[in-house]
Amino acid sequence: MSRLSALRVVVAGLSVMFVSTGCWEQWSVTWWPQMKWQKSVQAFEQTEQPSAPAGFIPPEGTIPFGQQPTTRQMPLAETELLQNPRAASLVSLENGKRNFEVFCGPCHGLTGLGDGPVAGPPFGKGPFLGVLPIAGPVGGQISKAFSDGHIYTVISQGIRRMPSYGRIPSDSRWDIVNYVRYLNGQVQMPAQTAQAATPPQGATQ
């Protein structure tokens, strides 16, 4: 092969190498490193690092930016001191009544006497024994001894056989607290014309 022919082969080979840029990166990430192929750890990926055996998950107690801690993230003593941000307006009481009848009524009864359709003796005729009333002569004394924060936390987390109702929007849970107070005569139903309608805000579990 002449020197000119050899030069042509070399030039042709180099031309193919540089022109076919769409394929060269597939040959070897070691020979042709790219930023998009650099090694990185994705969220929740197992790192095999002793200091992070479960992957890079948020540390315990982390709170998303701009959100308030949930009752599960707060000491019990702090939940007792929570203040109800929802005024006992007509809108709040009506929303509390609506949610109370759906979520609380089956056990506690529509008027809070512990005589809901699934509540058993001593106050009901259903299968679940020992459902406590939260209004009336007996239940009223119990509920009045609890703070708003305590009732809200019980709704949010559940207690003993009572399940958690954290799926209810936070504002609606506070409205239920207002309605429980109403059932016990601790707040009065405002006149409809005295309140402006403000729908509940989103949920916080």
- The enclosing domain of 97 has a CATH number of 1.10.760.10
Tell me, yes or no, whether 200 lies in a domain.
no
149 lies in some domain: yes
Q: Residue 142: is it exposed, middle or buried by C-beta count within 10 angstroms (0-12/13-18/19+)?
A: middle
In a domain? residue 44? no
| Phi–psi pair at 170, nearest 5 degrees | -55, -45
Residue at 173 is within a domain:
yes
Structure tokens belonging to residue 12: 């042709």
Q: If you search the block for the tokens 């769409």, which residue do you land on?
A: 22
Q: Enter the tokens of residue 194.
A: 């005295």
What integer best gives the mean pLDDT of the chain? 75
Domain hosting 168: range is 79-188
Has residue 50 got a pLDDT over 60?
Answer: yes
CA 117 – CA 126 distance, rounded (Å): 6
Label residue 147 by pLDDT band (50, 70, 90): confident
pTM of this structure: 0.59
Q: Is position 100 within any domain?
A: yes
pLDDT at 199 over 50: no
DSSP letter for each residue of 90-104? HHHHHHHHHHIIIII
Closest by Cα among 151, 148, 143, 162 to 103:
162
